Every structure is written in C-alpha cells, then in structure tokens.
Amino acid sequence: MDQPTAIVTGGSRGIGRAIATELAKTHRVIATYRARKDAADALRNQTGCDIFQCEISSREDRAALLVFARQRFEKLDLLVNNAGMAPRERRDLLDATEESFDELIWTNLKGPHFLTQQAARWMAEAAGGGAGRIAFVTSISAYTASVNRGEYCISKAALSMSVALYAQRLAEVGIKVFEIRPGIIRTDMIAKVEKAYDEKIAAGLLPQRRMGEPSDVAKAVRAIADGLLDYSTGQVLNVDGGFSLRSL
C-alpha cells in the first residue's frame, strides 16, 4: 500500500507505453488508452499496469478515470499528461480545417488541462499535501513552426502555457509541475515521415545525430518521479538531441 501511484494518459503505445513500462518498476500505474485495447492488454500483461479506456477530450471520460483511480489508489503521486494526437491529415495553413483545429485543441490542450485540474485537487486533499508531481509531455512544436500542421503547433504552445500556469498555482500546495518537450521521437506518429526525418538528422538537423526513442522520454519522467527535480518546478526538459540549441 505504500507503493507510489501514477496515471499515464495515452499509455498503450509509443512514448506513453515507454513511460508506463518504466514507472511500473516502482509505481502502481493506471495507463489509459483510446481505441487500441489490444495494445493496452499487452501492456497490462507485460507490466501489471491497470488499463482504462479514456477519450481524453471527453469530460465524462476524464471524470470516470478519476473515479476509477480513486477506487484503486488512496492517493495519487504522479500524473503524466501524455495523450495527444497529430492532425489526421497534414494540410497547409491556408487549407487547414476548423474541424481539425477543434479536434486537436480538445485532445491536446483542453483534455490534459482539465484532467490536471481534477488530479491537482485530489493531490491537494492528501494528508499533509506536498507529495504530488505532474508532468506534461508537449513537443518541440510548442515553439517550432510547421505550416503544414499549424493546429498541432498551436495546441502544444498553449499546453506549454498550461504547464506554467499550473506550476505557479500549485507550488504553494507543494505540487511540482514539469514540461517534457520531446523532439523527433521514433513512434507511430511520425511513421509516414520517418525517412525524411532520418535524412535531415543525418544532414545535421540535430547535434546528437540520432532520432530519439520513447525510452529517452521515459528517463526524463523517471527523474521527475524519483524527486530528483523537486526544486525545479515549472522547468522545461528538452528531450530533443540538442534541437533547441542555437549556434552560428
């Protein structure tokens, strides 16, 4: 019962799966999934994580997730806001649709923003308080303009501000909040453009000339989960192979 607890959204595949797998070594974990129950079942069988179907953009699903978590856990130590999506179709900024914009804002911004609100209230209720940690997985797209997926960039830039707001608000109750900004990570999300990214990396796009792996992001979450960054609330962890560096 003393084992720490964690919720990882979007935990069945890619970055989320690597995070859930890493945390399961030390935490009791609930990993959410949207549609791929087969992948979620495989994660559960491999790691012992609980799984829960949750459309993060749905108010009802978010509430149901917290009800489930409260039934499983006496307290929540860590929330990892990882669930997100890319546009279903990359379109030039002048051709992008409002439907795609709305879908990404609801999934990538509104969902994690309001899930954090609920989770933070629970953390603050815990005896003594001060034990909670929250990590948001955003993207280098929070500050890097890609005109063929503008709605994605906007959603991640806004989510980055959500991190800053929650870090400021929750510091007084001892809850630490962090932003993890992955760069080019080898996942299903970039499968269609993976070759192009590999070529750009080989040509010098990244100082560290390799694509990132989901495990690289999971290691950053591990540092947060273990309390190694507890005096650094609000900080951005760039897991990007040096992409954020500027040089002449």
Question: Ramachandran region of residue 14, left (φ > 0), alpha (ψ -120 to 50) or beta?
Answer: left
In the residue annotation, 197 being an active-site residue is answered as: no
Q: Of residues 33, 143, 152, 166, which has the active-site annotation?
A: 152
Question: 10 Å Cβ neighbour count for 68?
Answer: 17
Q: Which two tokens stand for residue 46?
A: 């491999």
Put the strands of the sheet holding 5-8 in their side by side order. Answer: 50-53, 28-33, 5-8, 78-81, 133-137, 176-182, 236-239
Q: Are 15 and 182 in contact (CB under 8 A)?
A: yes
Q: Which two tokens stand for residue 186?
A: 């080898």
Catalytic residue positions, numbered: 152
